[in-house]
Structure 1
Amino acid sequence: MMKNILTAIGQQTRAFQRHWLSYFSLFVSVDLVIQLIVIPLFRLATTVILQAAQIPFISYQNVVMIARHHPLVVVALLVELICLLLVVDLQFAAVLLGIRDISREMFTVRGLVRKIWQTLRRLRPSSLLVLMVYFILVIPFADLVYRTPLLAKIQVPQFILDYLTRNGLLLTATVTIYLVLTFLGLRLVWALPLMVYQRLRPRAAFHQSWQRTQGRRWLAVALRLLAIGFLAVLVMAAFYTLVIGAQWLLDFLPQPVAALFANINLLIIQLGSELVTTWTGVVTVSLLFLPLTTAAPVTASQRLAAKGNRVFAGLILVVLVVVAAAGNGLYLSTSQHHRPVTISHRGVAEENGVQNTIPALKRTHRLHPDYVELDVHETKDR
């Protein structure tokens, strides 16, 4: 089975090479929209909501107090959460539809926007809870298709994981829960692509995804994801080793020359990382989800428009290279004149203790960091 999977990955990689620039521009464009427009808007909305109620921050420590004394804030934040889920759904829909259209040489920006709007119109209020459950289950696998910063905060805090791993019973329960969630995620991984490609309602998509992974078919999905993930890690490890090793040798050259190559190599790392991310997403979608779609005839006008979009994709790449190179140059020139500041996050260094605890602070103190950051907690004795 693994040989067949690797052969299929090779075939999809060759197909990826034909349109790599368009795929790359799709992923970069979606990411820029999220980073430069969507995230600032959500941050602004959250800030306005909290400031209106004079709430300085939200954490697990004050969430009960907020729910008890500020019900309108809770309602506003729930509305914001609903909007977040909608944006995440549209984000993944944009990637799925874009990959399909690029592979068929019929991609246009206008056409993609129209299809995303149609996807939004098909959603119903009852679908929101289903989407929330879906994204929680599929987040570990969704990162292979597209890593969204909008869901980056949905994770178990590190200090809680540290506590769980120190208790055998809790560790066993945690591992069991993770295995169950992984199994459910694999069984439901087709749900969103079915909603996007075949326009199914969430319940129907969940049901069909469950049927598609009956028996050992879910294991085949897991093996494909593992193979793609392993190859991506292998490529990135070799890539980083090569670039960093080259820079280590170049650092023996005169400082201006070494700084110039440092800028170039940093740019290569940034573009290479994004390209590998694009490859993993495209190959994953092509292997698992594109077979769900039905081929539609491509008109001559669509092919002509697609060629125009390839020119646009090239312009995006040029702009990205120029902006990244300028930013890298500014960053490296600044770092040459200032010693890097070391900050211990939550009072630990290289996992030398439990976060925000006195024993960890004592161990970290011996390393003499410039600053130590920690979260202040109110103890029982105040």
Structure 2
Amino acid sequence: MDSIKLIKTSVYNVYKNLAEYLKSILILQAISFIITAPIITFIFHRLLKRLGLSSITENDFTEIFKSPVTIGMLLVLILVFLFFVYYEIGYYFLLAHYQNTEKNYTFRGIIKDLNKKAKYFLSFQAIYFFVYFLLILPLASLGLNAGLIKGIRIPNFITDELLKNQYGIIIYVLFIVAILYFSLRLIFAVPFFVIEKDITIKEAVKRSFKESRGKLIKTFFTLLFIIGLHTLVMALFVIVLFVPIILVELISSKLAPFFAAFLLTVIQWFLFIGYGLLQVIISEAIYILAFKKENGKLKVNLKKDKDKIIKNYKKPFIFSGNKPIVKKLIVIFLISISIYNYFVITEPIYLPKTKILAHRGYIKGGVENSIGSLKAAAKFNPDYVELDIQETKDNEFVVFHDSDLSRLAGRDETIKDLTLEEIKNIDIEAEGFTDKIPSLKEFIRVSKELGVNLLVEIKPTGNESTNMVENLVNLLKEEGVHKDYLVQSLDEEIILKVKRISPEIKTGYVIGFNIGSLPKTEADFIVMEEFSINNKILKEAREKEKDLFVWTVNEEDLIRKYLNLNVDGIITDIPGDAVEIRNSFEEEKTLLTRLRWILNN
């Protein structure tokens, strides 16, 4: 069966049983929201309480492994997580199997079938599923995504750093290709495991490796074509609904918000169902690929007599029979969402107070952390220019990010092994720009001339002098900038020491990874990677009167998102775009523009 015919068959199978799939999507998402998420959240908070932490960051993650109890709790958390991922993904494969083979089924019956295999998760077999779960994450981004893993991705700051040089790009591409290869080799593991009665997780993985041989290209392009077609249909639908909003706004500005709120609800509902159906169609396609015979026929009988097929099925779920209460609840829910959308749409838009910070200057106008990048950034009038500093062999400060010179200077030497005079004569190069490594004192004096304030990040290497913090504070005071500049670091102890020596210096604690609540700190502001920011964190920051900066935000839609959330600072590689977007934020916006913001958020 060629890819086009396979896709047609998958879409047809979903279409002829559309009602059952829609019910399944609603029920599984409800279970995820009402049962799964609260259980996982409860276990995680019990783990935090046991550790005596409010959250887990990159600095205290190892604390989990210092106690048998917390290790056990972590294993339980992972096990529960895998259970629910297994049930959601496995459910769709079993549903596809029963419908393709015209077997009677019920929701309870499918769950019972999944329960029979759940015992393997209480053995070492669970390790195979965990590895499978990690390797299918690329396919999760292509649509085979259980609700619990939609937000799991590689943090942007990791990919951004890798893509800044040729070797990083090669490493990143090779990593993605390798992961994608293994995920495609394992793509049939779950359907084999849940459908074949006597097969174990380990055996399903082995069989998937065997059956996927020779099908990789076909499988990949089949999934890619489904995703592309789905994206096109979704985009066209949204565009079609945007047209009447534009017309109504031109005719009646008073009626337009009500109409826009209603259509926004329709769009949100369509997107919710649409992405649910994407997972269903992909599951159907994978099922057909997994159980295809060598002669091109399927092991399942795909009859086209729709009426006959439907008659063979028992109506499952709480939706079976005439249950008007369910329809009423859905209508009430949609009306409530429409009312909420109306207030969101009509909420006044004010110029955000968010500060824009140029990350290491402007790297498209000069080498990062150089005088050239500082001058290039200053042209956009950012609120601050962020820079990294390190201590030299003679205890002076230079503006440089890496601990060694290999990436920008091509030299196998470290900053700590060289004096300031030696470092100042070294050429650095990136993206066609060349420059020298500046001292912090030189950087400050140029920034004064340009009229731009600095956010100084201390990059500890573990070889700092005992009076490093005192030297920095004294330098800032000598230059008369200690009340205007900001100082931040990934090392909280360094920041607290800065605060003790000079309370008037505003300090920030940089967090690369955070799960849970807002971390406790005596720093004035928290700098958190975009990956870890959510509404809960923002709310806690407001309640605790902590400024919250987000880094590194390099997409315009994300910049608009965080401006709309009115975070206190955005650290970005594109300061010019960020300043322009912020300055135009308060201008009169059409309802269409507001709807786009809401949908992007």
Q: Look up the match of 2:242.
A: 244
- CA separation of 1:309 and 1:97: change in aligned 2, threshold 3 A: farther
Q: Look up the match of 1:98.
A: 95
- CA separation of 1:302 and 1:14: change in aligned 2, threshold 3 A: closer
The Cα of 1:225 is off from its aligned counterpart by 0.7
Which deviates the most, 282-291 or 41-50? 282-291
2:98/2:105 contact within 8 Å kept: yes
The Cα of 1:151 is off from its aligned counterpart by 2.2
1:320 aligns with 2:330: yes
- The AA in structure 2 aligned to 1:56 is S
The Cα of 1:201 is off from its aligned counterpart by 0.9
- CA separation of 1:208 and 1:315: change in aligned 2, threshold 3 A: farther
TM-score, normalised with respect to structure 1: 0.82
Q: Look up the match of 2:555.
A: 351
- CA separation of 1:6 and 1:324: change in aligned 2, threshold 3 A: same
The Cα of 1:28 is off from its aligned counterpart by 1.8
The Cα of 1:347 is off from its aligned counterpart by 4.7
The Cα of 1:357 is off from its aligned counterpart by 8.3
- CA separation of 1:134 and 1:119: change in aligned 2, threshold 3 A: same
Q: Look up the match of 2:160.
A: 162
- CA separation of 1:317 and 1:179: change in aligned 2, threshold 3 A: farther
The 5-angstrom pairing of residues 1-382 of structure 1 reads 4-68=2-66, 72-103=69-100, 104=102, 106-142=104-140, 146-152=144-150, 154-199=152-197, 200-214=199-213, 216-290=214-288, 292=291, 303-306=313-316, 310-311=320-321, 319-339=329-349, 346-347=550-551, 350-351=554-555, 364=578, 368=582
The Cα of 1:134 is off from its aligned counterpart by 0.4
- CA separation of 1:273 and 1:115: change in aligned 2, threshold 3 A: same
1:184 and 1:192 mapped to 2: Cα distance? 14
1:6 and 1:236 mapped to 2: Cα distance? 20
SS at match of 1:61: coil
SS at match of 2:55: coil
2:25 and 2:250 mapped to 1: Cα distance? 37
Q: Look up the match of 1:377.
A: none
- CA separation of 1:242 and 1:348: change in aligned 2, threshold 3 A: farther
The Cα of 1:143 is off from its aligned counterpart by 5.1
1:96/1:193 contact within 8 Å kept: yes
The Cα of 1:311 is off from its aligned counterpart by 4.1
1:340 and 1:314 mapped to 2: Cα distance? 44
Which deviations, in whole Å up to 9, do the C-alpha atoms of 1:155-194 show, x marking residues without a partner? 2211111111102112201110110111111111001110
SS at match of 1:303: coil
1:48 and 1:306 mapped to 2: Cα distance? 37
Q: Look up the match of 2:407.
A: none
- CA separation of 1:90 and 1:61: change in aligned 2, threshold 3 A: same
- CA separation of 1:361 and 1:142: change in aligned 2, threshold 3 A: closer
Q: Which has the higher contact order (CA 8 A, sep 6+)?
A: 1
From the two aligned structures, give the one with the greater strand fraction.
2
- The AA in structure 1 aligned to 2:555 is E
The Cα of 1:48 is off from its aligned counterpart by 2.2
2:276 and 2:347 mapped to 1: Cα distance? 35
The Cα of 1:78 is off from its aligned counterpart by 2.5
- CA separation of 1:286 and 1:151: change in aligned 2, threshold 3 A: closer
- CA separation of 1:73 and 1:166: change in aligned 2, threshold 3 A: same
SS at match of 1:166: coil
The Cα of 1:359 is off from its aligned counterpart by 6.6
1:25/1:316 contact within 8 Å kept: no
Structure ID, larger Rg: 2
- The AA in structure 2 aligned to 1:45 is I
- The AA in structure 2 aligned to 1:130 is Y
- CA separation of 1:20 and 1:256: change in aligned 2, threshold 3 A: farther
The Cα of 1:265 is off from its aligned counterpart by 1.4
2:49 and 2:28 mapped to 1: Cα distance? 30
The Cα of 1:313 is off from its aligned counterpart by 9.1
The Cα of 1:253 is off from its aligned counterpart by 3.3
SS at match of 1:251: helix
2:45 and 2:256 mapped to 1: Cα distance? 43
1:316 and 1:180 mapped to 2: Cα distance? 46
Structure 2 unaligned regions, length at least 5:
292-298, 302-307, 356-529, 531-549, 563-568, 586-601
Query: RMSD over aligned Cα, in angstroms?
Result: 3.6
The Cα of 1:107 is off from its aligned counterpart by 3.5
- The AA in structure 2 aligned to 1:351 is E
2:300 and 2:48 mapped to 1: Cα distance? 47
1:299 and 1:284 mapped to 2: Cα distance? 21
1:25/1:313 contact within 8 Å kept: no
- CA separation of 1:122 and 1:301: change in aligned 2, threshold 3 A: farther
2:103 and 2:270 mapped to 1: Cα distance? 24
SS at match of 1:147: coil
Q: Look up the match of 2:509.
A: none
- The AA in structure 2 aligned to 1:185 is S
TM-score, normalised with respect to structure 2: 0.54
2:3/2:222 contact within 8 Å kept: yes
The Cα of 1:348 is off from its aligned counterpart by 5.4
- The AA in structure 2 aligned to 1:173 is I
1:249 and 1:255 mapped to 2: Cα distance? 10
1:312 and 1:178 mapped to 2: Cα distance? 49
1:357 and 1:71 mapped to 2: Cα distance? 40
Which deviations, in whole Å up to 9, do the C-alpha atoms of 1:290-337 show, x marking residues without a partner? 463767xx9999735459855479975663343133123123225414
2:25 and 2:7 mapped to 1: Cα distance? 20
SS at match of 1:339: coil
Q: How many residues align?
A: 365
- The AA in structure 2 aligned to 1:21 is A
- The AA in structure 2 aligned to 1:323 is F
SS at match of 2:56: coil
- The AA in structure 1 aligned to 2:14 is F
2:96 and 2:329 mapped to 1: Cα distance? 22
1:22/1:102 contact within 8 Å kept: no
